[in-house]
């Protein structure tokens, strides 16, 4: 099966100057065998294959980046003009924990760049950091000199300078951008963002009602510290979705019956994330290598998003509720201070906490029954840090942190804001068993 993407791209590369010609060529070439040699043609000029700039809300349904933003653009002479400003940003990961990070346009991570296949784009990058930087457009086909690898494809952008990048999108899908100068430092400080490119002529099944974008990343921020530590290699303590950790993550709000796509990207320094959605199965429909043909889209409840990759998942939100969505690596649903503690499971602590608190105010050892105890008892934490777990839920403490968010599906919605907690219909929520129920079913406790 020759992917339609390849034939379409080849049609664009054939030098079609207008949308009509390009699309006609796509149709006639649809039976052609896959051929990857087209890639060599990308050393051509940025204008090659450009189509009229597509309009949001007219030519495509804009995506939503929960907790983030989309980069605005203007059109000049048929080119979409974007401007990224690399700078230091005061960022809040969750209420109670902030840090001086590096990002773009006053945000961490940078705003999502959104365009349509065939759009010619010009991205100015201004460097307001104290260090040189570059921007690499991860997964994008472009002339080699626009690839943004410091030293290899360009000289780095010195502090105070503005560089111009320019290309025509010849593919569609979910991609990313990030610093490619001193990556270990600059990516760990937050210099990442997502890129979404819609198809010029959407393939069957592409249209959805909700199109969410989510960047996964990880940080080391010592409790009380003001800056993330880029030197950390293994022991990350803030695991984030769109640069926020639970309970600071922003829910994904859907209406019952909506067709939903979530575009997951991972630019964590050292980790892959298995993102699990409760209440549904979804299909993995695309990677940053392109959309999968329907015959290759497989159902899952957890999708592994390796670092340096994107995965698009789609499902129909036909079950109302508050459905958890989170990384299934259990240490990735913890916040700061979740590491390096003595194991106290099964240990009677007696009044050790009270005694220790006389010399270390707020001291609290891991609970005899685990970390949940600490969340429920409201362990005191140092300034500018958050407890390992604990969000306020409608019934109890939610003993999760880190890479955890909620897909909120409702029969009726007023606006796209957080609709609050899901009111469980009578008799559909787990609750304490009544004695007569136990007796009826022969359960002895
Ligand atoms: Cu993870």
pLDDT digits (tens, 9 = 90+) for 113-152: 999 999 999 999 999 999 999 999 999 999 999 999 999 9
> How many Å lie between the centroid of ligand 1 and the Cα of residue 273?
4
> How many Å lie between the centroid of ligand 1 and the Cα of residue 230?
18
- By C-alpha distance, which of 197, 219, 222, 272 is closest to 108? 219
> How many Å lie between the centroid of ligand 1 and the Cα of residue 127?
31
- By C-alpha distance, which of 53, 1, 190 is closest to 108? 190
Six-digit token string for 104 = 């773009």
> How many Å lie between the centroid of ligand 1 and the Cα of residue 92?
20
> How many Å lie between the centroid of ligand 1 and the Cα of residue 269?
12
- Predicted pLDDT of residue 390: 81
- Predicted pLDDT of residue 384: 84
The pLDDT of 242-265, averaged and rounded, is 97
> How many Å lie between the centroid of ligand 1 and the Cα of residue 88?
26
Q: 77 versus 360: which is more confidently predicted? A: 77
Q: How far is CA 15 from the centre of its chain?
A: 35
> How many Å lie between the centroid of ligand 1 and the Cα of residue 56?
33
Q: How far is CA 58 from the centre of its chain?
A: 25
> How many Å lie between the centroid of ligand 1 and the Cα of residue 122?
34
* Burial annotation 60-84 (CB, 10 A radius, 16+ → b, else e): bbebbbbbbbbbebeeeeebbbbbb
Q: C-alpha angle 178/182/186, rounded to 5°?
A: 50
Q: Write out pLDDT tens, residues 159-171.
A: 999 999 999 999 9
Instruction: Please give the Cα distance from 193 to 398 (Å, whole number).
Output: 29
> How many Å lie between the centroid of ligand 1 and the Cα of residue 371?
18
- Predicted pLDDT of residue 362: 57
> How many Å lie between the centroid of ligand 1 and the Cα of residue 359?
36
* Whole-number percent of the chain with pLDDT over 90: 72
Does pLDDT of 337 surpass 70?
Answer: no
Count of alpha carbons within 13 angstroms of residue 424, beta-carbon side: 10
- Predicted pLDDT of residue 17: 36
Instruction: Please give the Cα distance from 206 to 169 (Å, whole number).
Output: 18
For the CA atoms of 322, 371, 249, 100, what is the dihedral angle to 10 degrees? 180
State the average pLDDT for the chain: 86
> How many Å lie between the centroid of ligand 1 and the Cα of residue 216?
8
Instruction: Please give the Cα distance from 65 to 435 (Å, whole number).
Output: 48
DSSP at 97? E
- Predicted pLDDT of residue 339: 58
Instruction: Please give the Cα distance from 214 to 244 (Å, whole number).
Output: 11
> How many Å lie between the centroid of ligand 1 and the Cα of residue 268?
9
Provide the 3-class DSSP secondary structure of residue 197: strand
> How many Å lie between the centroid of ligand 1 and the Cα of residue 284?
18
Does pLDDT of 83 surpass 70?
Answer: yes
Does pLDDT of 368 surpass 90?
Answer: no
Q: Write out pLDDT tens, residues 7-34.
A: 333 333 333 333 333 333 333 333 333 3
CATH 3.30.300.20, applies to 74-327: no
Instruction: Please give the Cα distance from 392 to 30 (Å, whole number).
Output: 53
Provide the 3-class DSSP secondary structure of residue 140: coil
Instruction: Please give the Cα distance from 193 to 184 (Å, whole number).
Output: 16
Is the pTM higher than 0.95? The answer reads no
- Predicted pLDDT of residue 360: 61
> How many Å lie between the centroid of ligand 1 and the Cα of residue 391?
19
Q: How far is CA 185 from the centre of its chain?
A: 20
The pLDDT of 255-265, averaged and rounded, is 98
Q: Indicate the pairing of strand 74-76 with strand 79-94.
A: antiparallel
> How many Å lie between the centroid of ligand 1 and the Cα of residue 271?
7
Six-digit token string for 179 = 């610093």
Residues 6+ apart with CB under 8 A from 260: 208, 209, 210, 211, 212, 252, 254, 314, 315, 316, 317, 407
Q: Write out pLDDT tens, residues 279-323.
A: 999 999 999 999 999 999 999 999 999 999 999 999 999 999 999
Q: Indicate the pairing of strand 79-94 with strand 120-127.
A: parallel
**Highest mean pLDDT of the ranges 34-38, 45-49, 219-223:** 219-223
> How many Å lie between the centroid of ligand 1 and the Cα of residue 320?
26
The pLDDT of 91-117, averaged and rounded, is 96
DSSP at 406? E
- Measured in degrees and rounded to the nearest 5, phi and psi for residue 187 equal -70, -35
> How many Å lie between the centroid of ligand 1 and the Cα of residue 304?
9
> How many Å lie between the centroid of ligand 1 and the Cα of residue 244?
14
CB of 180 closer than 8 Å to CB of 97 = no
Could you tell me if residue 21 is left (phi over 0), alpha (psi between -120 and 50 degrees) or otherwise beta? alpha
């Amino acid at each position: 099966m020759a992917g339609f993407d390849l034939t379409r791209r080849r049609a664009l590369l054939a030098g079609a100057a207008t949308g009509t010609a390009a699309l006609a060529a796509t149709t006639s070439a649809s039976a052609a065998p896959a051929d990857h040699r087209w890639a060599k043609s990308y050393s051509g000029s940025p204008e090659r294959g450009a189509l009229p700039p597509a309009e949001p809300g007219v030519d495509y349904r804009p995506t939503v980046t929960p907790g983030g933003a989309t980069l605005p653009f203007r059109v000049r002479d048929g080119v979409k003009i974007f401007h990224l400003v690399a700078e230091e940003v005061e960022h809040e990961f969750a209420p109670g924990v902030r840090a001086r990070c590096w990002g773009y346009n006053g945000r961490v991570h940078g705003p999502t760049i959104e365009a349509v296949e065939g759009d010619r784009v010009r991205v100015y990058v201004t460097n307001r950091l104290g260090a040189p930087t570059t921007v690499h457009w991860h997964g994008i086909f472009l002339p080699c000199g626009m690839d943004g690898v410091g030293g290899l494809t360009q000289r780095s952008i010195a502090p105070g300078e503005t560089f111009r990048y320019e290309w025509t999108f010849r593919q569609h899908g979910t991609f990313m951008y990030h610093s490619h100068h001193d990556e270990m430092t600059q990516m760990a400080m937050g210099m990442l963002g997502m890129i979404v490119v819609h198809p010029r002529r959407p393939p069957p099944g592409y249209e959805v009602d909700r199109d969410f974008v989510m960047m996964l990343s990880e940080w080391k921020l010592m409790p009380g510290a003001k800056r993330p530590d880029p030197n950390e290699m293994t022991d990350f303590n803030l695991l984030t979705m769109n640069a926020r950790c639970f309970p600071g993550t922003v829910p994904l709000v859907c209406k019952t019956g909506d067709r939903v796509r979530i575009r997951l990207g991972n630019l964590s320094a050292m980790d892959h994330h298995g993102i699990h959605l409760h209440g549904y199965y979804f299909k993995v429909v695309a990677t940053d290598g392109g959309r999968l043909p329907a015959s290759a889209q497989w159902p899952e409840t957890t999708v592994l998003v390796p670092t340096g990759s994107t995965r698009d998942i789609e499902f129909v939100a036909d079950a109302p509720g508050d459905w958890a969505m989170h990384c299934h690596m259990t240490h990735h649903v913890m916040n700061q201070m979740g590491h390096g503690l003595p194991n106290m499971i099964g240990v009677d602590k007696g009044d050790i906490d009270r005694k220790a608190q006389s010399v270390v105010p707020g001291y609290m050892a891991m609970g005899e029954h685990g970390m949940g105890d600490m969340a429920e008892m409201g362990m005191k934490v140092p300034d500018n840090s958050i407890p390992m777990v604990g969000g306020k839920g409608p019934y109890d403490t939610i003993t999760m942190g880190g890479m955890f968010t909620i897909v909120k599906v409702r029969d009726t919605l007023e606006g796209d804001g957080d609709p609050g907690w899901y009111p469980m219909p009578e008799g559909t929520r787990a609750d304490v068993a009544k004695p007569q129920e136990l007796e009826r079913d022969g359960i002895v406790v």
